[in-house]
Amino acid sequence: MHHSFSTKTHTKNPAGGFQQYYFMFRMGMVSHRIIDMSQAAQTLSQYDSHLARNYKPMEGFTIAGSYAQYVIDTTGTYKLDGLSCYGAVNFGHKHPKIVEAVLKTLETPEFFVKEVSNGTAKPGFRHGANDGFGGLTAVSRNFRTEAAEKFADRICGLTGYDRMLPSSGGAEAVETAVKSIRRWGCDVKGIPDGKQLIVVADDCFHGRTTTIISFSSDPTAKHGYGPLTPGFLKVPFGDAEALEKIFDERGTEIAGFLVEPVQGEGGVIVPPKGYLTKCQELCKKHNIMFVLDEIQSGMGRTGRNFAYEHELKTRPDGIILAKALSGGMVPLSAFVANDYLLDAMTVGTHGSTYGGNPMASLIGIAALDVLVNEHMAEKSAELGELLMTELQKLDEPAIKDIRGQGLWVGLELESDKKAKEFARIISVDEHIIVKDNRDVVRLSPPFCTTKEEIKMMAQAVQRVVKQL
């Protein structure tokens, strides 16, 4: 199976050429400076950034471009993307079908005379793609657009849910879920307003708004940002008994259980088999909404379209999507749920200016089409198995654990310091960009990465681990 972008749809920039180039470069057969952008790099290194200091970018290179499974730095060096922007570019950078959708939104419809009857000219208009909903970027959801309606149809058709509420960032969609759960708890379950509780897991990561950091386990995410939002209870992740206990004790006050099916930022933690099923049963028993944050685990990353499909026989009450929902093109997220949960949000009680804008909606439809039509989850499963097999061959004491699901692997090293150093060396010297988080380095390349590149990645891991 050919995993890269089709050369047919993208003749100007065939990934085949990039792959061949990347391979030759790694084999030392070509010099890497195919484009000399060192002037730009020079300028940037002397630059005292006006960007806020809430991130500390890795030193050593500046990324200037991307294509498929590669990013290109300002010296013209190709690097394999081992992170996929935390899952935003699961399908590869600038997937041709998604680029096509972007371009379609920029077309201006052409007016023409549709029909002349009884001497009257009736105006009509056409779009380049002739599909009836191109050529529109942003209008408010206070006006009906075909793009937003069709995006909702597409997402609900694929998942089986009744409705979706579109937004931009991941955390924004988590906020939507939190508010829906609280509103449902108050209006439907009958918990007095202000008393609704939501259970979450220790070491979860759901974003960085004030409410979301209120239930973070990471002290650095919270320090100095108080007062925090009350109403959240914590249980250990993967422990169904702890959930049962808290439901037995306080079930009448609890409106929802919000959890990641696989904890991403927590270190790629896959819960024990049967955990999600048990959680769902307990939620049903206690009339508690069961909502999964699939922002990182969804869109094929674990080897299924959505991670809950590995285990659950029926859908949870709602799922939260973002990142690859737009194929890495624009910020796009959604809370997708059964009507009893999302209908709790009545007119005027929630919304956002860019949520459901026609441009993002059209891109979202294209990304969902790519997910399904190009069997992305299967590719992720196949490549993930290969990566895991290759990594498990390594007998390196510095590696404490290797775990994951699909093409999403957590490499646990001996310390946070070693993980940081590992990420730096593999990104700078081995040209595979990855990110560490505490003592774990995540490997989550795009699904168009080739099998040869997956093997090269495992070999690079070994070389770097030996240097720690």
Ligand X SMILES: Cc1ncc(COP(=O)(O)O)c(C=O)c1O
Active site residues: 205, 293, 323
For 337, the enclosing helix (H) or strand (E) is strand 333-337
Query: How far from 271 is each of 278, 311, 335, 449, CA to CA, in Å?
Result: 12, 11, 23, 27
Nearest distance in Å: CB 331, ligand X = 7
Nearest distance in Å: CB 464, ligand X = 24
Q: What mask of x and - would describe binding to ligand X in positions 37 to 76, judged by CB under 6 A?
A: ----------------------------------------
Q: Which of 94, 104, 189, 206 binds ligand X (CB under 6 A)?
A: 206
Q: Where are the alpha helices (DSSP H) in 160-230?
A: 170-184, 210-213, 219-222
Q: Say how many residues touch ligand X, by CB under 6 A.
A: 15
Rounded to an integer, what distance in angstroms lies between the CA atom of residue 247 and that of residue 215?
18
Q: What mask of x and - would describe binding to ligand X in positions 94 to 113, judged by CB under 6 A?
A: --------------------
Q: Does 169 bind ligand X (CB under 6 A)?
A: yes
CB 121 within 8 Å of CB 113: yes
- 404 exposed, middle or buried (CB, 10 Å; 0-12, 13-18, 19+)? buried
CB 243 within 8 Å of CB 199: yes
In the bound state with ligand X, the residue whose beta carbon lies nearer, of 136 and 268, is 268
CA dihedral 73, 74, 78, 81 (to 10 degrees): 10
Rounded to an integer, what distance in angstroms lies between the CA atom of residue 405 and that of residue 90?
14
Rounded to an integer, what distance in angstroms lies between the CA atom of residue 382 and that of residue 445?
13
Q: Does 175 bind ligand X (CB under 6 A)?
A: no
Judged by CB under 6 A, the stretch of 121-129, 203-211, 311-319, 440-448 that binds ligand X is 203-211
CB 112 within 8 Å of CB 125: yes
Q: Which of 5, 70, 205, 237 binds ligand X (CB under 6 A)?
A: 205
Q: Does 86 bind ligand X (CB under 6 A)?
A: yes
Q: Which of 322, 337, 367, 423 binds ligand X (CB under 6 A)?
A: 322
Q: Which of 73, 81, 175, 260 binds ligand X (CB under 6 A)?
A: 260
Q: Tell me which residue has its CB nearest to ligand X.
A: 170
In the bound state with ligand X, the residue whose beta carbon lies nearer, of 166 and 264, is 264
* Residue 188 three-state SS: helix
**Nearest Cα to 433, choosing from 41, 17, 59, 4?**
59
In the bound state with ligand X, the residue whose beta carbon lies nearer, of 88 and 155, is 88
Q: Does 336 bind ligand X (CB under 6 A)?
A: no
* 153-191: b (≥16 Cβ within 10 Å) or e: ebbeeebebbbbbbbbbbbbbbbbbbbbbbbbbbeebeb
Q: Which of 166, 207, 318, 404 binds ligand X (CB under 6 A)?
A: 207
In the bound state with ligand X, the residue whose beta carbon lies nearer, of 207 and 316, is 207
Q: Does 92 bind ligand X (CB under 6 A)?
A: no
Nearest distance in Å: CB 215, ligand X = 12
In the bound state with ligand X, the residue whose beta carbon lies nearer, of 88 and 432, is 88
CB 444 within 8 Å of CB 406: no
In the bound state with ligand X, the residue whose beta carbon lies nearer, of 74 and 444, is 444
Residues 274-313 that bind ligand X (CB under 6 A): 293, 295-296
CB 405 within 8 Å of CB 435: no
In the bound state with ligand X, the residue whose beta carbon lies nearer, of 73 and 293, is 293
- Point out which residues bind ligand X (CB under 6 A): 86, 169-171, 174, 205-207, 260, 264-265, 293, 295-296, 322
